[in-house]
Amino acid sequence: MLAIMLLEQKSLKTDSHYFHFLNNFPAVDDFPLMYGEKERKLLKGSPFLTRLEKVEANYREDYNLLLSFVPELSKYSFEQFLESCLWASSRNFGVTVNETKTNVMVPLSDMFNHAETH
């Protein structure tokens, strides 16, 4: 659900309350799930490639399942969905609210997840 919220908010651009937060997310092209054919060829024979393919298949299954229930989400490509999932999974914090465990994104806390650049 968090990934879908990110997709929707990102599509609003400057109309999103979260525009500045979302606009500062780093590119995900260095995440292994975003590797192209060239990079994946370098992993041939590695158990990492097999694991990568399984994880990608799971995300694709999730994407297709979502589309079966909410066809309007087809306006987002699988790649956009995957990017959003990677942002959500790499930037969320686990918390307990009213004795229920959940994940949240906390923009101010997320700043501690980055190195200072000049």
pLDDT 10s digits, 98-117? 999 988 877 666 566 555 65
Residue 94, domain member (yes or no): no
Residue 100, domain member (yes or no): no
Residue 63, domain member (yes or no): yes
- Residues 54, 67: Cα–Cα separation, whole Å: 20
- Looking at residue 113, its pLDDT comes to 59
Q: What is the pTM of this model?
A: 0.81
3-state secondary structure of 70: coil
Residue 98, domain member (yes or no): no
Identify the domain containing residue 53 by its residue range.
2-89
**Which amino acid makes up residue 97?**
V
**What total of structural domains would you count in the chain?**
1
Provide the pLDDT confidence category of residue 79 given band limits of 50, 70 and 90: very high
- Looking at residue 38, its pLDDT comes to 95
